Amino acid sequence: MNLFEAIFNHASLDRIAILFEQRRISYAELRDDTVRVARMLSELEIKRGERVALLLNDSPEFIAAFIAICSSGAIAVPINMSLRLDEQLSILNDCTASLAIIEGDPSNALLAGAAAQLSHLKQIVVVSRKQNQDSLTEDQTRQTRHTDDADHEEDIRKIWSFADLMNKAPAVDAPAASEILRLFAVVSENQPAFILYTSGSTGEPKGAVHRQSDIFYTNETYCREVLQLRDGDRLFSSSRLPFAYGLGNAFTFPMLNRCTTILCREKPSPEVIAHVFADYRPTIFFAVPVVYRLLLDHQKNRHSPSLDCASLRLCISAGEALPAQIGEQWENAFGVPVLDGIGSTEMLHMWMSNHEGEVVYGSSGRLLQGYEARLLDAESQPVPPGTEGNLWVRGASAAMRYWERAETTATTFVDGWVRTGDLYRQNAVGFWFHMGRSDDCFKSSGQWISPVEVEGVLLRHEGVSRAAVVEDFDDDGLPCACAFVVRTEATTDCAMLEQALRDLARTGLPRFKQPRRYVFVAELPYTATGKIQRFKLREKLRGSEYNL
Render 223-287 in DSSP notation, one character per residue: IIIII---TT-EEEESS-TTSHHHHIIIIIHHHHTT-EEEE--S---HHHHHHHHHHH--SEEEE
pLDDT tens digit sequence for 363-386: 999 999 999 999 998 888 999 998
pLDDT of residue 150: 42
Higher pLDDT, 283 or 492: 283
pLDDT tens digit sequence for 380-433: 899 999 888 999 999 999 999 999 999 999 999 999 999 998 889 999 999 999
Whether the predicted pLDDT of 135 surpasses 60? no
Q: Count of alpha carbons within 13 Å of 171, Cβ hemisphere only?
A: 8
509 in Cβ contact with 452 (< 8 Å): no
Whether the predicted pLDDT of 145 surpasses 70? no
String of b and e for 141-173 (b: at least 16 CB within 10 Å)? beebeeeeeeeeeeeebebbbbbebbeebeeee
pLDDT category of residue 132 using cuts at 50, 70 and 90: very low
Global pTM value:
0.83
pLDDT of residue 134: 44
Whether the predicted pLDDT of 504 surpasses 90? yes
Cα–Cα dist 483/514, whole Å: 9
Whether the predicted pLDDT of 546 surpasses 50? no
Whether the predicted pLDDT of 173 surpasses 60? no
DSSP letter (8 states) at residue 382: B
Cα–Cα dist 519/508, whole Å: 20
Higher pLDDT, 446 or 46: 46
pLDDT of residue 117: 84
String of b and e for 376-414 (b: at least 16 CB within 10 Å)? eeeeeeebeeeebbbbbbbbbbbbbbbbebeeebeebbe
- Cα–Cα nearest to 144, from 109, 113, 106: 113
- Cα–Cα nearest to 320, from 534, 79, 91, 80: 534
Higher pLDDT, 438 or 247: 247
pLDDT category of residue 348 using cuts at 50, 70 and 90: very high
Whether the predicted pLDDT of 41 surpasses 60? yes
Whether the predicted pLDDT of 183 surpasses 70? yes
Whether the predicted pLDDT of 491 surpasses 80? no
343 in Cβ contact with 311 (< 8 Å): no
Q: How many CB atoms lie within 10 A of CB 63?
A: 29
pLDDT of residue 480: 87
pLDDT of residue 199: 65
DSSP letter (8 states) at residue 527: -
341 phi/psi in degrees, rounded to 5: -155, 180
pLDDT of residue 46: 94
Domains in the chain (CATH in brackets) are 3-12+23-185 (3.40.50.980), 210-437 (3.40.50.12780), 442-542 (3.30.300.30)
Whether the predicted pLDDT of 154 surpasses 80? no
